[in-house]
Amino acid sequence: MVKRIRRLVALTCGQSVPSIMAFMTRRAFLLLCSVLALASGKAVAAGGSEDWDIAQAPSAGPAAERPADFDAFWDGQMEALAKVPFDPQVETPDPQPVAGVHYGKFSLAVNDTQRVRGQMAWPDRAGKFPALIIFQWAGVYPLQQGTVTGNAQKGWLAVNVMAHDLLIDEPEAFYEEQKNGDLKDYGLIGRGDRETSYFRRMYLGARRVMDYVKSLPQWDGRTLVVHGTSQGGSQALVAAALTDGVTAVVVNVPALCDQNAPAAGRSAPYPYWTAKPPGDLDPAEIAEAANYYDVAHFAPRVKTPVLVSAGLRDQSCPPHGIAAMANALGGDKELVFLPGANHQGDGGTHEPYLRRMRVWLDALRDGRPVPPPQS
């Protein structure tokens, strides 16, 4: 059943490009997209030559069915992860880099040979704080201290997760060497088998960090928000799907939604598993493995409220895939369509999402209900 939309508003994005948003209950996305179809018509989507008729959004779904053993596979992965000791290794600099903030770096074991790494910060005062876990977009690069220290100054227990099993703050030359060496095209590594995908450690690492944050004495025990853009958005959604007790998900143009889109004549999302030449791999095995890492298939497990955006000119994370993921979410959601927006949000085209992001995060931090969009 389609439930009512609490509020529907049209805003302005950039020059005269409309951005249409709604604060939705579980299945109100369908009604929203019917309104959008009347208001916006068609928008150029991935590839620059494919006209994506936004009227398709209410029925958008992934090109491939969710595997029957999807939940069993990931539940088994979580059971195996739970048997691995955390082995936390924490480094606290002295002196601290920012006054009034406690900062540290950490790493945690994912298995016998791999770790997940990151940084964290919280206000340097007595008390317990709401947690904000931030995942990173694609690429091979160092983390920036300000990502956590800036949010700690706002009152968060802020945690920032490195996408790779790499030290987080080495000189740029270190990351350049990795990017052009072992991690060249890392998104395609192991794509022929669900057990060998590069994203397996990344997803398991996301869950490991969530459990670690929940064990920290600085956490308030109530608020646990996951956040990210593109690849970071996909990790945030997966973290919410695999972890109990997440308060909210706040993601911008998430990647890995509708991995098998080319089979339906649509553009593939990053990391383009099924669009890139298969090399020596069997294309059917790539397509099968992709289903276990498709965020649209994780979406039914996400029961918590979600803020998510889709850029209608996004060539990296096409809007159809994000709409398919949003349709499958198991809880309330607020979807921000961004006509005119490419993946990078050139020309301020991501600003309507960013405004709502700030509203959501401020409310969640303060323990208040998230206000609906205002006209």
In tens, the pLDDT along 224-263 reads: 999 999 999 999 999 999 999 999 999 999 999 999 999 9
pLDDT of residue 45: 36
Mean pLDDT of the chain, nearest integer: 88
| Per-residue exposure over 314-337, b if at least 16 CB sit within 10 Å of its own CB, e if not | bbbbbbbbbbbbbbbbebbbbbbb
pLDDT of residue 326: 95
Taking residues 260-287, what's their average pLDDT?
95
pLDDT of residue 55: 73
pLDDT of residue 375: 58
Query: Which CATH number does the domain 7-366 belong to among 3.40.640.10, 3.40.50.1820, 3.40.50.2300, 2.170.270.10?
Result: 3.40.50.1820
pLDDT of residue 308: 97
Three-state DSSP class for 137?
coil
pLDDT of residue 374: 76
Would the pLDDT of 41 be above 60? no
Read off the DSSP letter of residue 365: H
pLDDT of residue 198: 98
Side chain identity, residue 80: A
| 296 close to 20: Cβ distance less than 8 angstroms | no
pLDDT of residue 53: 64
Confidence of residue 218 (pLDDT cuts 50, 70, 90): very high
Domain boundaries, the chain: 7-366
Low-confidence winner among 18-22, 57-61, 316-320 (lowest mean pLDDT): 18-22
Interacting residues of 265 by C-beta distance below 8 A, sequence separation 6+ = none
Q: What DSSP element (H or E) covers 368?
A: none
User: For residues 111 and 28, which has the higher predicted lDDT (pLDDT)?
Assistant: 111
Taking residues 282-309, what's their average pLDDT?
98
Taking residues 304-312, what's their average pLDDT?
95
pLDDT of residue 4: 26
Taking residues 352-358, what's their average pLDDT?
97
Q: How many other CB atoms sit within 10 Å of the CB of residue 15?
A: 9
CA dist., res. 69 & res. 372, Å (int): 37
Taking residues 34-58, what's their average pLDDT?
46
Would the pLDDT of 16 be above 80? no
Query: In this prediction, what percent of the chain has a pLDDT beyond 70?
Result: 85
CA dist., res. 252 & res. 299, Å (int): 15
CA dist., res. 342 & res. 89, Å (int): 39
At 139-198, the pLDDT tens digits run 999 999 999 999 999 999 999 999 999 999 999 999 999 999 999 999 999 999 999 999
At 69-113, the pLDDT tens digits run 999 999 999 999 999 999 999 999 999 999 999 999 999 999 999
